[in-house]
Structure 1
Amino acid sequence: MTAVELGMPLQRKPIYTQPRERFVFLYPTTACSLRCKTCYVGNTRLNAANTMSVERAVEIMDYFKVTGGHDKLYLLGGEPTMHPELAQIVREARDRGYKVTISSNGDFEESIFDGIGPDMLDSFNFSLESADPTIHRKIRGNPKNFEQVTNNIRRARELGYQVRVMCTVSQTNAPGALDLIPFLADLGAHTLSYHNLGKTGNGGRFLQPLNPQEWMDFCAAIEAHPPEPRLAVYYPPTFVTADTQEQWADRGYPGCPARTLDRPHIYPDGTVYACPVFMDDDRHYARFEDGRLVLNPSPNNELNAYMTADPVCTGCPNTGTCGGGCPAYSQIPAYGDEGWYTCDRQITPLCILWTVSAWGARPADSLHTLR
């Protein structure tokens, strides 16, 4: 008989005993050909167009391999394909045992595939905002990008890459966002990941996110969509009711990965962030200098935010499965002070970046371990 049948309480595993996923998010350049309204990096960094050398990238990869056991590398920007030596960075990462993903806006010439073949990458990640070209162009502000990114998705699939697509959901594209499921399945993509727009960078200036109830309704709509066997679909729960927290813990929710410093984001200027949610206002927790991390002495650095418990959490019976939620909602004025969202112990915030598989768990393979 099970514990439930015997009338015994279930022994829940606290979230911070979940397996940790150690990613390095490396920004080899902040140069970019676009100025998307969803961009959490923000136009100030994009306009600076800073670029790191291959030697610097290797030094960073070696450091986190040794000190944190990191084994997955995301190459972002800006637009990483604009880095003149991106192929060499990929080779150096593979030589060091990293699984490598390039995350791109798709705004590149097909010759990029010649220098970085599918044997060098674990996945090629593209961003696409809608199956409707008009909506995509409204967010991207570029009349040609929809055709270019969809053509590159199709070509990458033909060449044998693992093709992943990300869509950042806001009030602008939410009504037709699920149309991407059949569209990308027909295009040949392997995975689609929906993400909730954060109030960071351009996203905090130009677009409006879904509020907590709207986001929960959107996630429910994904689950209610007929499963598409050709496409793995992921989404971040982000906001959940207190009575469902245990189900997310059972599905692997690890708590806030910034609090365990599992996912560093490193820019060409050496600034290191634990999470992109705090990337505005120079709140980095450290700077990478001379082969080591030098902590930011400012009391306003993001690490102090992660190490501060929201007062509403004190004495809350749900912290074992919620882990104190996402610190951003009590530490960033754009969330709490504007009245957009504060935890009331009924609807609680999970990590805005942690995703789960729609329509039930999928087999554990590289498509999903690299999410």
Structure 2
Amino acid sequence: MRLDAVRERLIPQLAAARVGRVTLTGGEPFMHADLIQIVSEFRAAGMDVGVCTNATMATPHQIQRLAELGAHMNVSLDGFSADSHGVFRGRREGFQETIDNVAEFAKAGILQGLLCTPNNLAEDEEYAQLCQFAKEQGAKYVLMNPLGQMGRGASRASQKLRRSDDHMRHIRDLAIPFADDDLDVTLIRFPNEDKPLAGCEAGVIFYVFTDGGVAVCPYLVFAARTRVSQHPDTDFLVGNVWLHDDLADRLDAYGRFSDRWDLGANPTCGACSMSADCGKGCPAAVVESGQRIGAVDTEQCPVVPRQSRMLPLVGTS
């Protein structure tokens, strides 16, 4: 996004939509020549700003300016060695660069959390080391999210790096002891044996693509664009910030996601004793699996057997 478009078009529309907090992501935000000025423009509009980064490109001057602006950093760290995080990210030397800049963010008082994608390149024990590092640097959270079927990690090659359920359970057991009042350890879509599912934040947290498309959830859009989807992506896009002048009205008209879609519209949820306390999981996972919203999130639901992902047969002539 160009700086002038952010200043003159995006920020006024977000302000009209009562947005109080933005997160800049990518790609890698530090590749944008105007990143610091963009952060400054959002801060001048009264919005809190976070940056999701791999922390390999930030310069001392940029770190100083971000601290002066009161921004905060969320850093991707996917293992705790050059052989895991470095190889996973495509540059072995990137691991030390990330570690060094996390420490610099912490010294500047702008480190917020670490974002982690467990993968087969790392030893399980590295995730305990990662959590220990987070505590030492004063991070507020560690968020772990397995490689998924859509969005980041959607390729077949990436799926080979996905950790097995048994390994994910072991990583969970290693990470949870580090959780306390100072460090939140958040585990997303780890194996679930007995708990009701979380709900969906679609529409509460929305996403603006660089082409201007405004999504109630980017993962719903990614899922809708898979070849097995029964939903068009327009079910989850409310407009385009570059083309439409009424983003706030469009978001208000879309309303609450749970009011628009019945997430538990299936016999299993209807008969489940946990239904009242269950948020029904991730609708994007349901869409990506080839079902319509309302079907069971079988990957996470503890009361139904996990089902193999079956792609429909495609006929040829």
Letter in 2 for 1:328: A
Q: Which amino acid aligns with 2:73?
A: F
Q: CA deviation at 1:332?
A: 0.9
Task: Tell me if 1:179 matches 2:133.
Answer: no
Distance 1:81 1:127 in 2: 13
Tell me the number of residue pairs that the alignment of Structure 1 and Structure 2 aligns.
276
1:222 aligns with 2:175: yes
CA distance in 1, matches of 2:262, 2:180: 42
TM-score by length of 2: 0.72
Q: Which residue of 2 aligns with 1:66?
A: 16
With the length of structure 1 as denominator, give the TM-score of the two structures. 0.63
Q: Which consecutive unaligned segments of at least 5 residues does structure 1 have?
A: 1-50, 296-302, 350-371
1:114/1:177 CA distance change after superposition, 3 Å: closer
Shift of 1:213: 6.4
1:268 aligns to what?
A: 210
Identify if the C-alpha distance between structure 1 residues 342 and 133 changes in structure 2 by more than 3 Å, giving closer, same or farther.
Answer: closer
Match of 1:236 in 2: 187
Cα distance between partner residues in 1 of 2:167 and 2:275 = 24
**Aligned pair 1:317/2:273, yes or no?**
yes
Change in CA separation of 1:165 and 1:262 when aligned onto 2, cut-off 3 Å: same
State the match for 1:329 in structure 2: 285
Aligned residue for 1:143, secondary structure, equals coil
Counterpart of 1:256 in structure 2 is 200
Could you tell me how far apart the structure 2 residues matched to 1:335 and 1:150 are? Answer: 41
| SS, match of residue 196 in structure 1 | coil
Match for residue 25 of structure 2? Answer: 76
1:1-371 to 2 correspondence within 5 Å? 51-56=1-6, 59-67=9-17, 69-113=18-62, 116-173=65-122, 175=124, 176-187=126-137, 189-205=139-155, 206-208=157-159, 209-210=162-163, 215-216=168-169, 218-223=171-176, 225=177, 232-238=183-189, 244-245=195-196, 255-258=199-202, 261-280=203-222, 281=225, 283=233, 285-288=237-240, 289-293=243-247, 307=261, 309=263, 311=266, 312-333=268-289, 341-342=298-299, 346=303
Question: 1:57-97 deviations in whole A, cap 9, x for unaligned?
Answer: 55333323333x32111011111112222222212211222
Distance verdict in 2 for CA 1:242–1:182, change over 3 Å? closer
Give 1:134 shift: 0.9
Instruction: Output the CA distance in 1 between the equivalents of 2:301 and 2:50.
Output: 38
Question: Is contact 1:325–1:348 with CA below 8 Å preserved after alignment?
Answer: no
| Distance (whole Å) between structure 2 residues aligned to residue 228 and residue 344 of structure 1 | 27
Structure with greater helix percent: 2
Higher relative contact order (CA 8 A, sep 6+): 1
Greater shift, 322-331 or 204-213, is seen at 204-213
Q: Deviations over 1:125-168 (max 9, x none)?
A: 21111111111122101132112111211222223323422111
Using a 3 Å threshold, how does the CA distance of structure 1 residues 334 and 287 change in structure 2: closer, same or farther?
Answer: same
Q: In 2, Cα distance between the equivalents of 1:244 and 1:274?
A: 26
Shifted more, 163-172 versus 90-99: the winner is 163-172
Query: C-alpha displacement at 1:186, in angstroms?
Result: 4.0
Q: What do residues 272-331 of structure 1 show as CA deviations (whole Å, max 9, x unaligned)? A: 222232343283523322323498xxxxxxx89x82535243343323222222113322
Residues 1:268 and 1:342: Cα distance change in structure 2 (over 3 Å): closer
For 1:159, the aligned partner's letter is A
User: CA distance change for structure 1 residues 62 and 158 in 2, over 3 Å: closer, same or farther?
Assistant: same
Long gaps (5+) in structure 2: 226-231, 251-256, 307-317
- CA–CA distance in 2 between the matches of 1:113 and 1:184? 22
Q: Which amino acid aligns with 2:175?
A: I
Instruction: Give the Cα separation in 1 of the matches to 2:216 and 2:207.
Output: 6
SS at structure 2 position matched to 1:117? helix
8 Å contact kept, 1:54–1:89: no
Deviations 1:84-134 (A, max 9, x none): 222222122112221111111112141552673313134112111111111
